[in-house]
Amino acid sequence: MARYSSVLSLSSALGLSFALAAGAFQAKAAETAGAPGTAAKAEHTKALGLVADHCIKCHGSEVYTRADRKVTTRDGLERQVRRCETALELTWFDEDIAGVASYLNDQYYHFK
């Protein structure tokens, strides 16, 4: 019986810990949701990391600055990011692809 109650105590403690952590996460999310630019900064930082970890490792930044660019529109840029993501089997979310395309556009392409 003591063994059974120990398992229940552990289970209750874990459940409480999870509930507290979830509450803290929700509180932090609500706190930062009101901060202007916080989400945009986080997305920019994530996109920068993805570009550095995958795009620049593969071909460097010269592909973005060369005179005979293959990408000529904002939509074309997003399609190219998706092609690269698929070819490298990265399994990014659509938001990651859009974020990387947006980052590359801001840094190199400047499409409207």
Q: Does 52 lie in the same domain as 22?
A: no
Cα separation of 63 and 102, whole Å? Answer: 16
Q: Per the structure, how many domains does the chain have?
A: 2
Q: Does 47 lie in the same domain as 101?
A: yes
Q: Does 70 lie in the same domain as 24?
A: no
Q: Does 61 lie in the same domain as 9?
A: no
Q: pTM (2 decimals)?
A: 0.66
Cα separation of 23 and 31, whole Å? Answer: 12
36-74 tens-digit pLDDT:
578 889 999 999 999 999 999 889 889 999 999 999 999
Q: Does 41 lie in the same domain as 27?
A: no
Q: Does 47 lie in the same domain as 28?
A: no
pLDDT recorded at residue 17: 38
Which residues form the domain of 29?
Answer: 1-34
Q: Does 95 lie in the same domain as 79?
A: yes
Indicate which CATH number applies to the domain containing 86.
1.10.760
The packing angle between helices 74-87 and 94-104, to 10°, is 130
Q: Does 42 lie in the same domain as 23?
A: no
Range from 2-11, 69-78, 92-101 carrying the lowest mean pLDDT: 2-11
Q: Does 103 lie in the same domain as 62?
A: yes
Q: Does 56 lie in the same domain as 96?
A: yes
